Amino acid sequence: MIEGFIPWPAEAAERYRREGYWEDLTVTDVVFQRCDAFPDRTAVIDGDRALSYGELKQRVEQLAAQFVLSGIEPEDRVVVQLPNTIEFVLVYLALVRTGAIPVMALPAHRQREVEHFVSTANARALITTDIYRKFDFRPMAEAVRSAVPSLKHVFILGEPLAGQISLHDMLQAELSEEELTKCASQYQTPPDSVATMLLSGGTTSLSKLIPRTHNDYVLNAKLCGEVAGFGPETVFLAILPLGHNYNLASPGILGVFYYGGTVVVSQDLKTEAVFSLVEKHGVTVIAAAVPLITRWLASRDEIARFDLSSLRVIQNGGAKLAPELRRRLQSSLGCTPQEIYGTAEGLVNMTRLDDPEELILESSGAPVCEADEIKVLGEDGQELPDGETGELVVRGPYTICGYFNAPEKNETAFTADGFYRMGDAVRKEGRYVYCDGRKQDLINRGGEKISCDEIESIILEHPKVELAAVVAMPDPEFGEKGCAFVQLKDDETLTLEELVSFLKQQGIASFKFPERLEVQEQLPLSPVGKVLKKELRAMVTEEA
Ligand code: DBH
């Protein structure tokens, strides 16, 4: 067991095994079972390229061996930052197959963030791409390598720089069965060991690492896939970043593989591109989020040109979709909306496809597992009755018992009896939860959670800034965007452009940049000197 990982208490683990939630299979065990059962079915489509399940297994086995030959060992952490491609799928499964632990960064992350992931995970390798969306990741990878001594290997999808390893070359290599078997003898994948590390939604400053075991992640994918109605005829379109828990396993690509369906991966979010893929491949379900759905509903005429007869379900994750928009998905696109309210730390709530209308339109769903214990707590930490709003907490067979290597954070992130605090204000009616808002100081920008604290501390590094507060402002498309309030040093001025260019230099993802700046003579303070964010939030909300 790697140091810094907190397993379930022995009694809980024993129960989850006894009751069949944990099957002692690894993530690649279950994927390979499907590969062996239906080798000719299509597993993944990416543009003009496709892999059958049989080919998927072969390619994963080849690449896994290449990783071992490059010096990657079981339990090594490997930060993966790749766009939605077939290679993403191969790299992810190949690492997991060997017992190395992929740490799922996003293509939007920049140096400051990647460096944080590499150093917190104590990662041995980084796998990224050459140029994506006009950004060159190769020099960034080198800068991270110079800053973090644990980082030995940099693998590049595309053209590597000197000293970097070409993923393409590794994917071309063909080892014999004998050589593959020899490499496989070095794999170590106990099912209760860590299979993957996900990133927390930046609730307090920089993201924490979320260790997910094989047993719990397989269960996560299996149950979410079941509630999504996945089967061999499923054609799932993945356009949001695959490194997010939502598209990776909730139900995501692992949920599809569990049931032998087909995944179409794409990086193109343009409405026309999305719906031409739906038509071309007979997509049955899309994993979407509020900004995309808002755009689709606003461009129904454009969409109507495509044959959407295959499309059954549009999933919404990341932030709550307004009931009226869910209704419009039914009436204009003829789809069932499926609300997915989950967290990378574990618990996933989903509406059921055959739920009564009221639940489908209004609720945030119910836990996917009967063994998920959920409670709503009041300010005093006592459980509240149904219908009253408080904080949702959870314990269960696929919810973590601690962040990786973060003892201080773990003190506050869990209750004394080991329930994880979701950080959202919800109320509950039986097993169904209803999201009412936020408890934590973050911005939910169309599903991407931005920590206000993280951005404030960077803005405070600006030489002209005396005091800063970042708050959520309402946005018709994204739900929320960030607005920065600053108090400047004497006689200084600051524009939004200047602020953004400063943040860019600091190497953070652009989705975190505030999209409005308010310079104030004096920020409102409480008697103890805390910025009164409530007032600032009220101010931007009123103006919007
Ligand atoms: O927002 C999320 O983190 C999220 C959304 C939907 C998630 O982790 C999930 C489903 O599993």
E strands, 233-273, in order: 235-238, 262-265
Which residues are registered as beta bridge partners of 314?
A: 286, 337
Q: How far is the CA of 516 from the centre of ligand 1 (A)?
A: 27
Q: How far is the CA of 338 from the centre of ligand 1 (A)?
A: 13
pLDDT, average across residues 206-227: 97
Residue 122 in tokens: 């104590």
* Domain pair 26-190 / 217-438, same fold: yes
Whether residue 204 has pLDDT greater than 60: no
Q: Which CATH number fits domain 26-190: 3.30.70.260, 3.40.50.980, 3.30.420.40, 2.60.40.680?
A: 3.40.50.980
pLDDT score recorded for residue 93: 99
Share of the chain above pLDDT 90, in %: 91
pLDDT interval class at 436 (50, 70, 90): confident
pLDDT, average across residues 349-362: 98
Which residue from 60, 416, 12, 393 is spatially nearest to 213, judged by alpha carbons?
12
Atom of ligand 1 nearest to the CA of 345: 8
Distance CA 473, CA 530 (A): 20
Atom of ligand 1 nearest to the CA of 343: 8
pLDDT interval class at 543 (50, 70, 90): confident
Q: How far is the CA of 368 from the centre of ligand 1 (A)?
A: 13
pLDDT interval class at 203 (50, 70, 90): low
pLDDT interval class at 531 (50, 70, 90): confident
pLDDT interval class at 205 (50, 70, 90): low
Average confidence score pLDDT of the chain: 95
pLDDT interval class at 210 (50, 70, 90): very high
Distance CA 29, CA 12 (A): 23
Question: Is the Cβ–Cβ distance between 206 and 200 less than 8 Å?
Answer: no
Q: How far is the CA of 372 from the centre of ligand 1 (A)?
A: 16
Q: Which run of H or of E encompasses 221? A: helix 214-227
Do you know the residue count of the chain? 544
pLDDT tens profile 311-321: 999 999 999 99
Residue 467: which residues within 8 A CB-CB, separation 6 or more?
Answer: 460, 486, 487, 523, 531
Distance CA 187, CA 61 (A): 11
pLDDT, average across residues 45-72: 98
Residue 363 in tokens: 């609720």
pLDDT interval class at 338 (50, 70, 90): very high
Residue 155 in tokens: 């693998």
pLDDT, average across residues 331-347: 96
390-393 contacts, C-beta under 8 A, 24 or more apart? 390/425, 390/426, 390/427, 391/421, 391/422, 391/423, 391/424, 391/425, 391/426, 391/439, 392/421, 392/422, 392/424, 392/426, 392/428, 392/433, 393/419, 393/420, 393/421, 393/422
pLDDT score recorded for residue 363: 98
Q: How far is the CA of 504 from the centre of ligand 1 (A)?
A: 27
Distance CA 328, CA 15 (A): 43
Atom of ligand 1 nearest to the CA of 224: 11
pLDDT tens profile 99-122: 999 999 999 999 999 999 999 999
Pocket test for ligand 1, best of 220, 244, 435 (most atoms within 8 A of CB): 244
Q: How far is the CA of 344 from the centre of ligand 1 (A)?
A: 6
Largest CA distance in the chain: 73
Distance CA 504, CA 110 (A): 9
Q: How far is the CA of 120 from the centre of ligand 1 (A)?
A: 22
Q: What is the DSSP letter of 368?
A: S
Nearest CA to ligand 1 atom 8: 343
Helix axes of 214-227 and 27-37: crossing angle, nearest 10 degrees: 50
Q: Name the more confident of 397 and 451.
A: 397
Atom of ligand 1 nearest to the CA of 341: 6
As to burial, measured by CB atoms within 10 angstroms (0-12 exposed, 13-18 middle, 19+ buried), residue 69 is middle
pLDDT interval class at 17 (50, 70, 90): very high
Nearest CA to ligand 1 atom 3: 343
Q: Show the ligand 1 pocket: residues with CB < 6 angstroms.
A: 201, 245-246, 250, 317-318, 340, 342-344, 348, 447
Whether residue 89 has pLDDT greater than 80: yes
161, amino acid identity: L
pLDDT, average across residues 424-437: 92
Question: Is the Cβ–Cβ distance between 231 and 244 less than 8 Å?
Answer: no
| DSSP string of 290-302, one letter each residue | HHHHHHHHHTHHH
Atom of ligand 1 nearest to the CA of 344: 8
pLDDT tens profile 278-312: 999 999 999 999 999 999 998 888 999 999 999 99
Pocket test for ligand 1, best of 196, 199, 343 (most atoms within 8 A of CB): 343
Atom of ligand 1 nearest to the CA of 449: 1
Nearest CA to ligand 1 atom 1: 318
CATH code of 217-438, in short, is 3.40.50.12780
Q: Tell the CATH topology of 442-543.
A: GMP Synthetase; Chain A, domain 3 (3.30.300)
pLDDT tens profile 465-502: 999 999 999 999 999 999 999 999 999 999 999 999 99
Distance CA 96, CA 102 (A): 7
pLDDT score recorded for residue 544: 73
Least confident of 97-111, 220-234, 341-355, 516-530: 516-530
Atom of ligand 1 nearest to the CA of 318: 1
Beta strand pairing call for 42-46 and 262-265: parallel
Q: How many of the other CB atoms lie within 10 Å of CB of 416?
A: 6
The domain segmentation of the chain, as residue ranges, is 26-190, 217-438, 442-543
pLDDT interval class at 190 (50, 70, 90): very high
Q: How far is the CA of 61 from the centre of ligand 1 (A)?
A: 29
Q: How far is the CA of 346 from the centre of ligand 1 (A)?
A: 9
As to burial, measured by CB atoms within 10 angstroms (0-12 exposed, 13-18 middle, 19+ buried), residue 281 is middle
Q: How many of the other CB atoms lie within 10 Å of CB of 466?
A: 14
Q: How far is the CA of 427 from the centre of ligand 1 (A)?
A: 18
Q: What is the pTM for the complete model shown?
A: 0.93
Q: Name the more confident of 543 and 128.
A: 128
